[in-house]
Structure 1
Amino acid sequence: MGQKLDTRAIGLDVGLSFMRWLTGAENLHYGLWTGFDVCAQNIGAAQAAYTDKLFGYLPKGPLRILDIGGGAGETAKKLIALGHSVEIVVPSAFLASRCRENAPEAQVHECMFEDYAGQGPFDLCLFSESFQYIPYDTALTRAAELLRPGGEILIADCFRSANYQGVKRSQTVGGGHRLSAVQSHISASALTLLAEEDITEAVAPSIDVEQGLFNVVGHAITRVDGEMQVKKPRARWMLTKFLRMVLKERSRFRLMERLTEQKRTAEVFCHMNRYMILRLHKPEG
């Protein structure tokens, strides 16, 4: 029996290749759309504005930074260019290879943050759209352990709002922990909340741009499928059979829904989520 297709790695590879072609960088994070027309040609500029916003929350450096869930290494590359020392924790072998390529000066740890065995102390633990993938109590506790006294945790991520309940999976957009639960946990911890900013409305247009790109692909697939149904029915039958072999029916349905419908919108995102920047301080003593 052949090995199972690694659709996640394939998706990341295709997504990063597309973003590199479109913007010149391998970023998959949200953009900050304030002042920009919401269209594909401005994705790179909006993502750069997001990074500038994030870096505005950095304490004075140079810093020793642990970039937790460092993506393809683009953020680490920019941090190193600013004079900071960076280590990256990333669980994906594919992304770890991209980090080593894009940020060769960074030390890359290919593991889950929960399994990270590196040594501190760090001046800053950074969670840029990675906090939602780790149990928040584990993420905050472990990060605090790795910080020097007076060090900081910087989180920029999506959180679920109070409106997120009873939503069909096909209509979900965004993600993350419940904001109220994380805020309560921070209040009860030894960490001090230095800054908190809600940038939901500024990043939400990323959802509309992404959905528009998916719809373009969906339109192309629909047109080709229509032509094949009439002119190449046997080839279409074989292609359909192959897709049924590699993708379950539910996965095929969700994919086509994503490609051909418009249920994922900026408006829905804002209703169900809050995109927050949180800056936390570890006590000196």
Structure 2
Amino acid sequence: MREKIDTRAIGLDVGLSFIKWLTGAENLHYGLWDGLEVTAGNLRSAQDAYTTKLFKMLPDGPLRILDIGGGAGETARKLLDLGHSVDIVVPSAFLAGRCRENAPAATVHECMFEDLQVDKKFDLCLFSESFQYIPVDIALQKAADHLDEGGEIIVSDCFRSKGFERQKVGSTVGGGHRIGTYRESLAALPLTTVSEEDITASVAPSVDLEQALFNVFGHAITRIDTELGQKKRKTRWFIKRALATVMSKRKRFRLHQRLMEKTRTADHFKANNVYLMIKLKPA
């Protein structure tokens, strides 16, 4: 039986390698752009500003922290440097490996958060752009179950606002639970909101920067396609046939849209999404 190619792992590997080359760190999260020009050269500064703001929400330490969906371990490494102890939950074998290399002092649990089995209690459960990948009620209840007395939960993530709509295929950033679903689930649980801050406008320029990057790739592809059309028509025909064989018409349309158009913008993001930094604690 032929093994299936793990395109997700390939994408993560390439994405993290590119980000590390560009910024020196393996962060794939949004940046905080207040006072910064929206350029690739400022991405590291914007992401560092986001992390600084996130860490200001932490209770007094040192803390036992459960970093849920810890990415490549960059946040955990910084938390360890501040004197906290960190357990990371990450379902991807590739990302678990990056966590072990970037934050060797952390304990890495390679599993879905829903499947986590651990006897430890924590002072803080942290969802930094990982909350959207877990069913709301499970995420909140399981996090609460892992808190020690006096513990807190931090959720920093994107939600779909009340006005969310897909006006065009691929044009809206789809990640995140509906904000109404989150509020309904929260109301049904013995948790209370300590603080909630809307930082949508501050992170939204990240969408413009990402789209600009895709357009750079699109420009390169267009330039190559034009040259092939003029000088290597048979080669161009075979390439187009090959793409049609391995990709559906819908996928080709979405790829073309991401590479050639400017359908995802900061303004569109602000109209359809809301990015919140939330602190919760057991009632």
Q: Same fold (TM over 0.5)?
A: yes
Classify the TM-score, shorter chain.
over 0.9
SS state of the match for residue 171, structure 1?
A: coil
Structure 1 unmatched runs, 5+: none
Assess if the C-alpha contact under 8 Å between 2:166 and 2:172 holds in 1: no
Task: Note the C-alpha offset of 1:168.
Answer: 3.6
SS state of the match for residue 5, structure 2?
A: coil
Q: Distance in 1 between matches of 2:193 and 2:38?
A: 33
2:32 maps to what in 1? 32
Is 2:176 aligned against 1:172?
no
Q: Distance in 1 between matches of 2:238 and 2:89?
A: 42
SS state of the match for residue 105, structure 2?
A: coil
Q: Distance in 2 between matches of 1:280 and 1:242?
A: 51
Letter in 2 for 1:158: C
Letter in 2 for 1:22: L
1:192 maps to what in 2? 192
Task: Note the C-alpha offset of 1:7.
Answer: 1.8
Q: Distance in 2 between matches of 1:85 and 1:160?
A: 33
Is 2:13 aligned against 1:9?
no
The number of equivalent residue pairs is 283
Is 2:81 aligned against 1:81?
yes
Assess if the C-alpha contact under 8 Å between 2:141 and 2:189 holds in 1: no
Q: Distance in 2 between matches of 1:85 and 1:17?
A: 27
What are the Cα deviations for residues 121-153 of structure 1, in whole angstroms up to 9, with x where unaligned?
Answer: 111000000001100000000000011121000
Task: Note the C-alpha offset of 1:174.
Answer: 4.4
1:60 maps to what in 2? 60
SS state of the match for residue 150, structure 2?
A: strand
1:227 maps to what in 2? 227
Q: Distance in 2 between matches of 1:244 and 1:117?
A: 44
Q: Distance in 2 between matches of 1:111 and 1:249?
A: 34
What are the Cα deviations for residues 187-237 of structure 1, in whole angstroms up to 9, with x where unaligned?
Answer: 332112111000000000000000001100100011001111221223223
2:112 maps to what in 1? 112
TM-score by length of 2: 0.96
Task: Note the C-alpha offset of 1:2.
Answer: 4.0
1:96 maps to what in 2? 96
Assess if the C-alpha contact under 8 Å between 1:158 and 1:174 holds in 2: no
CA RMSD, aligned part only?
1.4
**Alignment map for 1:201-220 (pairs within 5 Å):** 201-220=201-220
Q: Distance in 2 between matches of 1:84 and 1:247?
A: 46
SS state of the match for residue 170, structure 2?
A: helix
**Alignment map for 1:37-48 (pairs within 5 Å):** 37-48=37-48
Assess if the C-alpha contact under 8 Å between 1:174 and 1:269 holds in 2: no
Q: Distance in 2 between matches of 1:216 and 1:87?
A: 38
Q: Distance in 2 between matches of 1:157 and 1:42?
A: 21
Structure 2 unmatched runs, 5+: none
TM-score by length of 1: 0.95
Task: Note the C-alpha offset of 1:6.
Answer: 2.0
Q: Which moved more, 1:165-174 or 1:7-16?
A: 165-174
2:139 maps to what in 1? 139
Task: Note the C-alpha offset of 1:5.
Answer: 2.6
Assess if the C-alpha contact under 8 Å between 2:193 and 2:280 holds in 1: yes
